[in-house]
Chain A
Amino acid sequence: MAKSNVSEVDAAPSSRSSSDKNPRKLRNLELILILFACAINAAAIVLVQWGAVGTLDGQTVLLIGGLSVLVLCLHVAVRFFARDADPLIIPVAALLNGIGIAEIYRIDLAVGLTGWQATSTRQIAWTGMAIISAIIIIVVIRNHRVLLRYTYIFGLVAVVLLLLPLVPGLGDIKGGAQVWISLGDFMSFQPGEIAKIALAIFFAGYLVRNRDSLSMVGKRFLGMSFPRVRDLGPILVFWLLAMSVLVFQRDLGTSLLYFGLFLVMIYVATGRASWILIGLGLFGAGALLAGQQLEYVANRFQNWLNPFDQAVYDQYPGGSLQLVQGLFGMANGGMTGTGLGQGRPEITPLSQSDYIVPSIGEELGLAGMFVLFALYLILIGRGLRIGFAGRDDFGKLLATGLAFVIALQIFIVIGGVTRVIPLTGLTAPFLAAGGSSLLSNWIIVALFIRLSDTIRNQPKLVIE
């Protein structure tokens, strides 16, 4: 009777040999973990409601029910279209998304936002769009190698998305950075978030095609092999692009993110450390120049080095008030946190978006922060695992690039708020309020699902 079930699902187009593994077992494990994640999310939202207001209402049901239903839909889609996918990815993403919604909702309550004005309501709507997009990707793209076919189209899409905010009438300046486009009063979108996926696909495709010329030819100098100038072309173009994002859109975080993604992917593809050295040198030189020539970059450095200096703290705009208030919040949380709904995260500006991690750090403490780190590490670890186990270079490179871009983004945003590096505006994946960020990260989840499914359901032909 179990057999009939399997053959029914086997009617789905992708061919698989289920002789040595049991896909149903994987999916059942995933289901259990998803239910577990949903239970934690529900508990978090209920705690927020109790902690801040003391009663339960319709908003609670919407937030808990909405997220749970959406994630379960994704799970069902995976059951049909990616039966062998890694079972940990969706539960971890769902849990991160849920914790984010709970904390966003908590801040909504603190500042008195309700209905469609409430960021949490919009976040659940965006989660809906993001997860539906993920489902569409899983259903439509049955084999990731299709993406390789459109390498240059993705490259073009990425550049267009990146430059979109510079189009007059469409661009929107927030917090000094011009990285948003507005669609009416209600919706604003950060195309750069989506661009990073298109970029990762473009890089993976480009590098797989050109890795020989990038890695084989070159001159040896100082014990390292350096590429020819004409092979330096792509990195120079990219350096210029990253710098122009920095200069024109005033977005340090995004430029650092793209550049880091590019360097890591070119290093993984070619195995040449010299690329990293050249790249870091160029970025460093560019950043140094920007720090001297551009006031807002200089301010970031000043805030990083001397945030508690009263003059730096009082400076407006561009002072360290936000950074310092975030640190106060985290200190207020201490080891175990104030408890959900009992901190004062709303004191810090942008506590729902750029500062969502300190907000969570305040209410859930260092313990909560380490849970976040652990969840992120699991997600990144699963991505890297696809890279290690993958059998085609394009898939390996793409998975590595996507895993690294999540890791780097986390490092830039959390490192910024905890003073490891200067503060730059980026969103914490899955947690921060913002549709574009949710959309792009759930698309990455969909790609991970697709890639991990491919790895598992193909017989081991090549052993690396």
Chain B
Amino acid sequence: MNKQLKRVSMVIFVMFLALMTSSTIIQVGAADELRADPRNTRTRYASFDVERGAILVGGQAVAQSVPTDDEFKFTREYPQGPLYSAITGYYTLNQGMTGIESALNAELSGTSNSQFIDKLTRIITGQKPQGDSVELTINPVVQQAAWDALGDMTGAVVAMDPSTGKILALVSKPTFDPNSLTGNDDKQIIETYNSLLNDPTDPLINRAINGGNHPGSTFKLVTTTSALESGDYTPQSTFPNTGQYQLPQSSSIVRNSWLGTCGPGATTTLATGLMSSCNTPFAQLGVELGSEALADTAESFGFDTELNIPLPVTPGFIPRVQNAPQTALSAIGQQDVMATPLQMAMVSMAIANDGQLMKPQLVDSVVNSDNLATVSEFKPEVFSTPMSAETAEEITQMMISVVSNAAGSATTARIDGVNVAGKTGTAENGTLTDGTDKPYTLWFTGFAPAESPKVVVGVVVENGGGMGLEGTSEGIAAPIGKKVIEAVLNQ
């Protein structure tokens, strides 16, 4: 009988082997696929079961989870709504997530690798799962100032600490209220989302880091850097001062925006060109430098480079190979050149920080929600070194004159008792069907105090600030930058 018994034992063993295999396949092999099945309500429940960590600004929550009475236990709440929506993004049940909610989802939901031990401890002790909180680098006063300064205009503002790369303010308008995308009513959320998506003012686009605008004259900072770093130019290098420049191999003519010359005299200097934002010397300079050199310099400022702050940033763009007339227009930030306010603020940051560009960063630290212990902390990181300290100093002096000199283009950014370094830009966007120009894109970037910079800003205002062709960068963009700089300096 024992022979049969052995065989029966083997059969039992095989039966158990089959069960172990099938449960391993379900719980490990196919688990991700099963979790992703839209009919799997557990996945949705689970994401709302966790008390998601908060997103903090100066210790105050700008996104937090609050208990609900329904089956989902928690819902997301954004106490300051639109003020921080460009940073926090939204977090929905079925419509995905954006912003920090998405970029740091693993930390906020408590599923990152660093929280593994934490999770184990919770399983053993039976505690409720809880995600970590994320402290942002944002300064709430500066954020509010940037928000207020931008008013009802379409545009974006970025402010950073040039010595660390910490982002102090990040505003994009028009925007949305992330509270309108929370709650557990799928149908209503989808409706709201679709109406935001179809809104012609594009409130879902983060213009501070994902917009697409010609940088206009603010790009002349890049061209200037390229010239000075080549060793062939100084701020005193001269260019013919004819008030117009005919593009090589073309009948097109580049003029200064006021249709006059670049200061008095038969020749003008690089310094004067930057101060008054003349187009003619920079178009010539661009042709002399060549598109490759211009692209190299732009790349050292972060153009064409993937960047996560940790929100994914749309990199600035400049074509590497261009013919001479295209290069001339690129040198003054037109043609195919594109940039975001963050990108242009990065250009100023390198100049402000003695030639060293710090990596922009939006997250200061990840904090354990239970005991407030720091899980991970932001450390300043050098992104690149686009220029020498001497070049940085020379450009700084030129940028100071842009603001302080009566002939400068950004005199509206002056602050009493402080040297502000700045640069404006007014980008053309082509013509309307009736032949008139489309409203300009208005720019300002700069930093202060020029001697030991505490803040660097990047401002863009689309559509002429709502004033049609009357809107100028000096009248609209520079004062916004000034208010943001003041907010930092007044602290």
Chain A residues packing against B (C-beta within 8 Å)? 46-47, 50-51, 264, 267-269, 271, 308, 313, 324, 327-344, 347, 361, 365-366, 369-370, 373, 376-377, 380, 384, 387-388, 393, 396-397, 400, 403-404, 407-408, 410-411, 414-415, 418-420, 464
- In this complex, what residue of A is CB-closest to B37? A328
> Which B residues are in CB contact (< 8 Å) with A341?
126
Q: Collect the chain B residues with CB atoms within 8 Å of residue A337's CB.
A: 123
- Could you tell me the distance between the alpha carbons of A410 and B15 in the complex, rounded to whole angstroms? 9
Q: Are A420 and B4 neighbours in the complex by a CB distance under 8 Å?
A: no
A113–chain B nearest beta-carbon distance, Å: 17
Smallest beta-carbon distance B252→chain A, Å: 62
Partner of A324, one of B11, B39, B123, B129: B39
In contact, B27 and A407 (Cβ under 8 angstroms): no
A404 touches B12 (CB 8 A): yes
Cβ–Cβ contact A414 & B19, under 8 A = yes
Q: Are B35 and A370 in contact (CB under 8 A)?
A: no
List residues of chain B with CB within 8 A of the CB of A46.
126
- Of residues 13 to 71 in B, which have CB atoms within 8 Å of A's CB atoms? 15-16, 18-20, 22-24, 26-28, 30-31, 33-35, 37, 39-43, 45-46, 49
**Structural contact, A47 and B126, CB atoms closer than 8 A:** yes
Q: Whole-angstrom distance between the alpha carbons of A272 and B30 in the complex? A: 41
Task: Give the residue of B1, B18, B20, B23 whose beta carbon is less than 8 angstroms from that of A393.
Answer: B1
Q: Helix, strand, loop or mixed for chain B's interface?
A: helix
Query: Given A264-B8, A267-B4, A271-B3: A415 and B18 within 8 A (CB)?
Result: yes
Knowing A339-B126, A418-B22 touch, does A384 contact B28 (C-beta < 8 A)? no
B117 at the interface (CB under 8 A from A): no
**Alpha-carbon gap, A333 to B4, bound state (A):** 39
Question: Is the C-beta of B5 less than 8 angstroms from some C-beta in chain A?
Answer: yes
- How distant is B131 from chain A, measured CB to nearest CB, in Å? 14
| A357 and chain B: residue at smallest CB distance | B23
Cross-chain contact A418 with B126 (CB below 8 angstroms): no
A455 to chain B, nearest CB (A): 14
Interface of A is mostly: helix
Q: Give 8 new A-B contacts, CB below 8 A, not counting A331-B34, A332-B35, A334-B31.
A: A267-B8, A328-B39, A330-B23, A331-B30, A332-B40, A332-B43, A407-B15, A411-B19
Decide: A384 near B9, CB < 8 A? Known: A47-B126, A396-B1, A410-B19: yes
In the bound complex, residues from chain A placing their C-beta under 8 Å from that of B40 are 328, 331-332
Question: Out of A324, A380, A400, which one reaches B5, CB within 8 Å?
Answer: A400
Docked CA distance A400–B23 (Å): 26
- Is B490 positioned at the interface, with any CB of A under 8 Å from its CB? no
Neighbour of B31 across the interface among A50, A331, A340, A384, CB < 8 A? A331
Partner of A332, one of B23, B42, B126: B42
Taking a contact as CB atoms under 8 Å apart, the answer to whether B126 and A327 are in contact is: no
Determine whether B320 belongs to the interface, using a CB cutoff of 8 Å to chain A: no
Give Cα A400 to B35, complex, Å.
41
- Answer whether A340 and B26 are a contact pair too, CB < 8 Å, given A268-B1, A313-B39, A380-B12: no
Q: Quick one: which of B5, B22, B42 contacts A419, CB cutoff 8 A? A: B22
Q: Residues of A contacting B24 with CB < 8 Å?
A: 366
**Neighbouring A residues of B49 by C-beta, 8 Å:** 342
Smallest CB separation, A157 vs chain B (Å): 25
Closest A-chain residue to B129, C-beta based? A342
25 A/B residue pairs, CB under 8 Å, sorted by A: A46-B126, A50-B126, A267-B8, A268-B1, A268-B4, A328-B37, A331-B26, A331-B40, A334-B31, A335-B27, A337-B123, A343-B42, A344-B42, A344-B45, A366-B23, A366-B27, A373-B19, A387-B1, A396-B1, A397-B1, A400-B8, A403-B12, A414-B23, A415-B22, A420-B18
- Residues from chain B with a CB closer than 8 A to the CB of A388 are 2, 5
> Which residues of chain B are within 8 angstroms of A51 by Cβ–Cβ distance?
126
User: Which of B3, B23, B28, B41 counts the most chain A CB atoms within 10 A?
Assistant: B23
In the complex, which residues of chain B have a beta carbon less than 8 angstroms from the beta carbon of A335? 27-28
Question: CB of B122 within 8 A of chain A?
Answer: yes
Chain A contacts of B20 at CB under 8 A? 369-370, 373
| Chain B interface bracket (under 10, 10 to 19, 20 to 34, 35 or more) | 35 or more
Query: What is the CA–CA distance of A165 and B28 in the complex, to the nearest angstrom?
Result: 41
Question: When the two chains form their complex, are residues B126 and A420 in contact, meaning their CB atoms are under 8 A apart?
Answer: no
CB neighbours (8 Å) of B31 from chain A are: 331, 334
**Residue on A with the closest CB to B71?**
A344
3 nearest A-B pairs in the assembled complex, by CB-CB distance: A331-B34, A418-B22, A50-B126
Q: Flag if B2 contacts A420 (CB, 8 Å).
A: no
Docked complex Cα distance between A278 and B10 (Å): 20
Q: Is A420 touching B22 in the complex (CB atoms < 8 A)? A: yes
Q: Report the Cα distance A266→B441, complex, angstroms.
A: 91
CB closest chain-B residue, reference A343:
B42
When the two chains form their complex, are residues B1 and A328 in contact, meaning their CB atoms are under 8 A apart? no
A407→B19 CA distance, assembly (Å): 11
A267 partner residues in chain B, CB cutoff 8 A: 4, 8
Residues of B within 8 A of A384 (CB): 5, 8-9, 12
Which of A339, A347, A377 makes the CB contact (< 8 A) with B41? A347
Asked if residues B8 and A268 are in contact (CB atoms below 8 Å), the reply is yes
Which of these, B27, B39, B46, contacts A330 with CB under 8 Å? Answer: B27
CA of A400 to CA of B46, assembled, Å: 44
A341–B129 alpha-carbon span in the complex (Å): 12
The smallest beta-carbon distance between B426 and chain A, in angstroms, is 57
Contacts of A343 in B (CB 8 A): 42
Which residues of chain A are near B16, meaning CB under 8 Å?
Answer: 373, 376-377, 407, 410-411
How near does chain B come to A450, taking the closest CB pair, in angstroms?
19
Q: State in angstroms the CA–CA spacing of A355 and B362 once bound together.
A: 47
Q: Determine which residue in B9, B20, B35, B45 has the highest number of CB atoms from chain A within 10 A of its CB, and name it.
A: B9
Which of chain B's residues has its CB closest to A380's CB? B12
Closest to B30 in A: A331
Q: Could you say which residues of chain B place their CB within 8 Å of the CB of A366?
A: 23-24, 27-28
How long is the Cα–Cα vector from A44 to B31 in the complex, in angstroms? 25
Identify the closest chain B residue to A365 (Cβ).
Answer: B27
Contact check, B27 vs A361: say whether CB atoms are below 8 A apart. yes
What chain B residues lie within 8 Å of A408 (beta carbons)?
15
Nearest chain-A residue to B125 (Cβ)?
A: A50
